[in-house]
Amino acid sequence: MAPHRLGPAILLMLLALTGCAATDGGQGGIASAFAPFAQKGAAEAGPITLPDGVEWVETVTDTQKGIVIPYSKYRLDNGLTIILHEDHSDPLVHVDVTYHVGSARERPGRSGFAHFFEHMMFQGSVNVADEEHFKIVSEAGGTLNGTTNADRTNYYQTVPANQLEKMLWLESDRMGYLLPAVTRQKFEVQRATVKNERAQRYDNAPYGLVGERVGEAFYPADHPYHWPVIGYTEDLNEATLADLQHFFLRWYGPNNAVLTIGGDLDPEQTLAWVKKYFGGIPRGPKVQTVAPEPIALDQDRYITLDDDVALPLIYIAMPTVHARHPDEPALDVLASILGDGRTSLFYKNLVRDGLAVQAETGHPCRELACQFTLYALPNPAAGVSLADLEQRIRASFDEFEERGVLPDDLARVKAQIRSRLIFGLESVSGKVSQLAFFETFAGTPNYIAQELARYEAVTEEDVMAAYRRYLKDQSAVILSVLPEGQDIAPASAANWQRPAPPQASAPTASLDYRAPVDDFDRRKAPPASQSVSVIPPMIWRDSLDNGIPVIGAINDEVPTTALTLRLNVGQLDEPLTKLGLAALTASMLNESTEGSSNEALSNRLDKLGSQISVSSGNRYSSLTVRSLTENLDETLDIAWERLFTPGFDEADFERVKSQTIEGIRAAKKDPSSVADQVFSLTLYGQDNAFSWSDAGLEETVASLTLDDVRAFYAEFYRAGAASVAVVSDLPRGEVMALLSPLEDWQGDRPPPTPMAAFPRLETGKIYLVDKPGATQSEIRIGRRAMPFDATGRYYRAGLVNYPLGGAFNSRINLNLREDKGYTYGARTGFSGEREFGRFVARAGVRTDVTGPSIREFLDEIHLYADQGPTAEEVSFTRQAIGQSTARDYETPRQKLGFLSLLQTYDLKPSFVEAQKRILDTLTEAEADQLATDLFSEEVTIVVVGDREAIADQLSVFEREIVLLDENGRRVDEGS
């Protein structure tokens, strides 16, 4: 958890709700700010021979002005649109199939079908056996997933380049041959899985129902955005197999899809494969263009939601326009001015003044309608009510009207959009996603120039006009989230009630299955072509005059730089009475400096489009930098200012400390976070600082002073504890010159803090944290294990665990998720540091199957220890992990992670070759012996759930049930 923020349960959910000050494509910018940008690694398409039935539409090359993703666009006779992007910089390809259908295409009373169908598309088709899709992609060394939103559903895989034909076979088989393979059993299992997902991400998550409640009040009952993408449980319960089949036949035709492929490909061969596998799939019903459906509110609608949260929340939503409306860019700029970051009015008026621990705005846009969203979480120390916050928000509107738009406002937004766009080109998946998005929603992949022009045209007058038209004196939905059991008033009494759910209407017309016509045998999966060659990045090593080691790698595909300055100081160096001190110190380095306010620093960074952050973990504190290389020198100036001259301002300290405490309180409301914390304490004991959350405990953070932070900084932030890793398109010499300001830094690192002895593992107990009313139980089962070792027992343990619980199609996930429908996902795995490690099996499961889920976990682990993996599982592991290395070094962040690994464990790059030898020579006998050694040991069990609902289920294990609180301390049942 970032200690200067609220916990992830709050932050991630709210970010998803508010979006960012950009279009729903996540891109935008200013055309005049771009120099011609030819992306290295991209190949210009030459003339090729097209297969029959494939029509060329257009080719866009990187010789055009501005930022361009080169591509060629084609279309099949059945309406399938194909986009190819060549990039030979890495031996991999990314395949994306986007269907222009999301929850907005559902019928009232039948919500959740688009998302439900996303799940069904992974359950096999006529020529791909049940549960084989994930196995095939994993064994090919790939990664895959699917996503659904209100407007589209997409499926994607990133695989080694030699697996492309197989991916096209897979995607085409489920496009053309899914329905005949759908069975009642598959339908019911995935219905249960989707309900588990809803319980985990919405019903059982703090603030998880905010978006659902706001959408219901914001949109009329028959509006396509009225219901949540996940759907209502009642609608999922009422869904029939016939409903599902109709949804597929209506929307999943090739004429409603875009197939985008990018990476190390041969265009002529790729088109031949596309024609072979997709050409025989019949066209679906005609899909009409969807007209925008913006809405208007006749009065403010106040609603309330009681939730198991630590802090109340006020959330305001106001109707605006729709995606790609002429006023959208101006509204995005307005959102940035009002509530995006430390330069915003919301930050100044609510967060900096201590009234709120967090306050932001956004303008998330979708195909049919957009919202202007604002939220704030009050600071309990300030004693303000939600009504007070609403008044302050409205006063900020008035202040903006008087203040107007400043030149820096436009400069910040434009620079951020520009850098975000370039960062998005660092991976082939990012480029493919961009092309697919614009083709689906703008009708052309080459929309970036138009998008840039839209933002280039925004003026101060446009922003003011947008404010007056869409925000000033306009009605809104105002939601108050109230913590259960606390006497807290809403912003205003509720004046709107949830309507009765609409009755399901019948499908508009019956549709028949359209069988494809092929001229080849689909039952045979195509083989992989010649194996790809994977080479880790070439690295260089150097050191500064004061001894700070530097490790680097060149990445010249995009003009960006990623850098980490890491200090060997973290939570391990905290006294138990000052838990959270390392994280709080790191957070203070994100605040003002001796010479600049944090608002001034943020303004400078935003105008550069750069990112700098300081964070702390168990062993290390890190200053990370992400910058366009052209702005690197100015960005590093700010980084060094933060590092060497922190202001340690008292007002900053009190605000950050208050935010940290509220984040700790929020984490206690998140069952998954609680389970992780308590499990760590059972393994390593309460006398080791690293057993606790990096943020610390509420009482220890409350006792910290600014003098504690100053002393910790002075003692540990020294050159002798520092190292640097950098990935850039700059050569070594230029990088070292930019790092020269670090050479004046001095000081040796103090001796490391010794660890306390670990407690005896209590394997005869179940540790239970009671969460009354929880719809799911969080389970953690495990023990202490070996520390990290790149080429020893630790690495081998990871290999042997892979078929048990490391892959999606592992024994445990197939059992609990796919076969029984108990959970949204279940995993097992080893993790380790230098001195210690752990093995953990984990899942969030339905409350009514908590006991049976634990039994399945234990039985699967014991069976694996007794019998070991099969020969097929060993072969699968060798193939999946061996070929996945093609994806390991693509982006600057991946390369930076590789460099950091070398630094952390004093490794040489040759460890990669050693791992390959171990993997290639892994035998069934060796794996069997390892399984016996690794999984025969007794385990401890932690459960976070509704005690009353699960007590009888836990009693069958004949283990003592020990009640704990969220901090792992025993609860006196008599108190």
The pLDDT tens digits of the residues spanning 910-959 come to 999 999 999 999 999 999 999 999 999 999 999 999 999 999 999 999 89
Assess whether pLDDT exceeds 80 at residue 413: yes
| Average pLDDT for 11-39 | 33
Determine the pLDDT at residue 29: 28
Tell me if 225 sits within 8 A of 219, measured CB to CB: yes
The secondary structure of residue 128, as a DSSP letter, is: B
Task: Report DSSP state, residue 724.
Answer: E
Q: Which domains does the chain have, with CATH numbers?
A: 8-24+292-427+438-483 (3.30.830.10), 41-278 (3.30.830.10), 539-744 (3.30.830.10), 765-964 (3.30.830.10)
pTM: 0.92
**pLDDT band per the 50, 70, 90 thresholds, residue 507:** low
- Which tokens in the block code for residue 112? 């959740």
User: Could you read off the pLDDT of 60-81 as tens digits, one per residue?
Assistant: 987 656 678 999 999 999 999 9
Strands 549-554 and 722-728: parallel
* Least confident range of 257-261, 408-412, 575-579: 408-412
The whole-number average pLDDT for the span 594-605 is 95
pLDDT of 16 above 90: no
Across residues 287-298, what is the average pLDDT? 92
pLDDT of residue 962: 96
Pick the more confident residue, 229 or 130: 229
pLDDT band at 501 (very low <50, low <70, confident <90, very high): confident
Q: Average pLDDT of 319-341?
A: 95
Sequence-distant (6+) residues with CB within 8 A of 844 are 196, 199, 200, 204, 671, 672, 776, 777, 778, 779, 823, 824
Give the confidence band of 785 by pLDDT, cuts at 50, 70, 90: very high
Question: Is the pLDDT score of 7 beyond 90?
Answer: no
Alpha carbon 680 to its chain centroid, in Å, reads 24
pLDDT at 420: 87
* pLDDT recorded at residue 67: 75
Q: Name the pLDDT band for 846 (thresholds 50, 70, 90).
A: very high
- What does the alpha-carbon distance between residue 625 and residue 893 come to, in Å, rounded to a whole number? 11
**pLDDT score, position 46:** 53
CA distance 801 to 829: 6
Confidence of residue 254 (pLDDT cuts 50, 70, 90): very high
What per-residue confidence (pLDDT) applies to 20? 30
Q: Residue 223 is which amino acid?
A: H
User: Is the pLDDT at 310 greater than 60, yes or no?
Assistant: yes
What is the reported pLDDT for 449? 80
* 599: nearest Cα among 953, 841, 423, 353: 353
> What tokens were used for 958?
């004949």
pLDDT tens figures, 274-286: 999 999 999 999 9
What is the model's pLDDT at position 137? 95
Q: Higher model confidence: residue 426 or residue 534? A: 426
Mean pLDDT over all residues of the chain? Answer: 91
Looking at residues 721-741, what average pLDDT do you find? 97
Q: Residue 811's pLDDT is what?
A: 97
d(CA 570, CA 827): 28
- 101-106 average pLDDT score: 95
What is d(CA 389, CA 402) in angstroms, rounded to the nearest whole number? Answer: 20
Which pLDDT belongs to residue 949? 97
Residue 863 pLDDT more than 90? Answer: yes
- Classify 150 as helix, strand or coil: coil
Dist. CA 661–CA 655, nearest whole Å: 10
pLDDT higher than 50, residue 139: yes
CA distance 697 to 720: 29
| Helix, strand, coil content of the chain in percent (nearest 5) | 45, 20, 40
Parallel/antiparallel/unpaired status of strands 611-616 and 722-728: unpaired
Instruction: For 71-104, give the DSSP string.
Output: EEEEEETTS-EEEEEEBTTSSEEEEEEEES--GG
Q: Is it the case that residue 455 has pLDDT exceeding 70?
A: yes
Question: Cβ–Cβ contacts within 10 Å for residue 517, how many?
Answer: 10
3 state DSSP class of 65: coil
Summarize pLDDT for 194-229 with one digit per residue, the tens. Answer: 999 999 999 989 999 999 999 999 999 999 999 999
In which region does residue 195 sit, left (phi positive, over 0), alpha (psi from -120 to 50) or beta (all else)?
alpha
Mean pLDDT (whole number) for 866-886 = 95
pLDDT at residue 63 in the model: 64
pLDDT of res. 32: 31
Which tens digit of pLDDT belongs to each residue from 418-433? 888 889 889 999 999 9
The DSSP 8-state label assigned to residue 731 in this structure reads -
Contact 69, 434 (CB under 8 A): yes
What mean pLDDT is predicted for residues 142-155? 96
- Is the Cβ–Cβ distance between 160 and 532 less than 8 Å? yes
Q: Could you report the per-residue pLDDT of 622-679, keeping only the tens digit for each?
A: 999 999 999 999 999 999 999 999 999 999 999 999 999 999 999 999 999 999 999 9
pLDDT at res. 399: 96
Kindly report which listed range (136-145, 289-298, 497-506, 756-765) carries the lowest average pLDDT score: 497-506
What is the pLDDT at residue 806? Answer: 96
Res 108: pLDDT: 87
One-letter amino acid of 782? G
User: What is d(CA 723, CA 719) in angstroms, rounded to the nearest whole number?
Assistant: 8
The predicted pLDDT at position 25 comes to: 33
Angle among Cα 98, 103, 105 to the nearest 5 degrees reads 85
Q: Which amino acid is at 752?
A: P
Cα separation, 498 vs 222, whole angstroms: 13
User: Quick check: 13 pLDDT over 60?
Assistant: no
**Within 13 Å of residue 436, how many CA atoms lie on the same side as its CB?**
26
pLDDT of residue 65: 63
Whether 176 shows a pLDDT value over 90: the answer reads yes
Please tell me the distance from the alpha carbon of residue 612 to that of residue 342, in angstroms, as a whole number.
13
**Above 60 in pLDDT, residue 573?**
yes
pLDDT-derived band at 748, boundaries 50, 70, 90:
very high
